Structure 1
C-alpha cells in the first residue's frame, strides 16, 4: 500500500517524498541479434540481423527515498532475464518457439520483465517498445494485457 508523505519521515522528522501520485520510469537498452521469419514472403525470411533498441517502462508509487523504481534495478532485470537470450543471439534458437517478429518479441519481453518485478508499492508494467530499425517499432501496453 502507498504511504503518504506524512507517513514517511527521516531522522529529522521531514519527508523525502513530494509526489503522492503514480509515476512512470523507463530505461532504454540496445542489443544486436539475428533472426529469420517464418511464413513471410520477403527479405526477412532469410537470416538477417538488427541492432534493436528496447524501452521498458514501469510505474508505481514512491518509496521512502522518493524513487518509483531504481533504474539500476531495471538494468539488473535486463541483464539477468533478457540480455542472455537476446544480445548477440540467434533469436529463433534462444527464445521460446515463436515467429520472431517484433510483435512477438515485444510481448515476450513484457511478460518476462513483468514476472521479475517486485510485489510492492503497486509497481507494474506500463509498456515495452522495441525498435527493430531506427524508424520501426512494436509496442505492448499494460491495458492491452487486461483486454
Structure 2
C-alpha cells in the first residue's frame, strides 16, 4: 500500500480579470502574475523495462497537460464571468483583438483553482491522482485545493 510519492511542478502565467459586483478595487479590470503549483501523487513505475522506470510521472508529461489545459488558455487572457454584464465589455475587447476568456464562474483564485482541478484531473493517467493545487495571485495571497478535502 505504501510508496506513494508526491510530485510537484510549478507554472507561471499572466492573466487579467475583473470581479463583477465586488465591493472593492478588484471590480476594475486588472491583472496578476499567477503562480500555479500542481502536485500529483502515485507510485513510481517499478517495471525496469519501462522508459519511465522510477518515475511517478515524467515532469515533461505533467508540463504538457498543464500547459495545454491551463497555461496556454489563461496566459495573457482577460477572464470574465459570462453570466454578468461584463459580457458586453468582453465582446468589445474581443472585437478589438483582445484575448478574452469567458467562464461560467466569478474568476476569483478560489473558483479558478476549482476549474483547474477538474481540467487537470481529467487528463492524468489512471494510476496517478491530483493531490493538490496552489494558485498564487500575489506573493501574499493564494488559494489551495486538496483532493482529500473533496472526497
What TM bracket, shorter-length normalisation? 0.7 to 0.9
CA contact (8 A) 2:12 2:71 kept: no
- Tell me the SS of whatever aligns to 1:91: strand
Cα distance change, pair 33–102 in 1 and its aligned pair in 2 (3 A):
same
Question: Which residue of the other structure, out of 131, 137, 143, is the alignment partner of 2:142?
Answer: 137
Highest Rg: 1 or 2? 1
Equivalenced residues, count: 126
- Tell me the SS of whatever aligns to 2:105: coil
For residues 78-89 of structure 1, the aligned pairs below 5 Å read: 78-89=66-77
Unaligned 5+ runs, structure 1 = 3-19
TM-score by length of 2: 0.79
TM-score by length of 1: 0.81
For residues 1-147 of structure 1, the aligned pairs below 5 Å read: 21-63=3-45, 64=47, 65-92=53-80, 93-120=100-127, 123-146=128-151
Shift of 1:34: 0.2
- Tell me the SS of whatever aligns to 1:94: strand
Unaligned 5+ runs, structure 2 = 48-52, 81-99
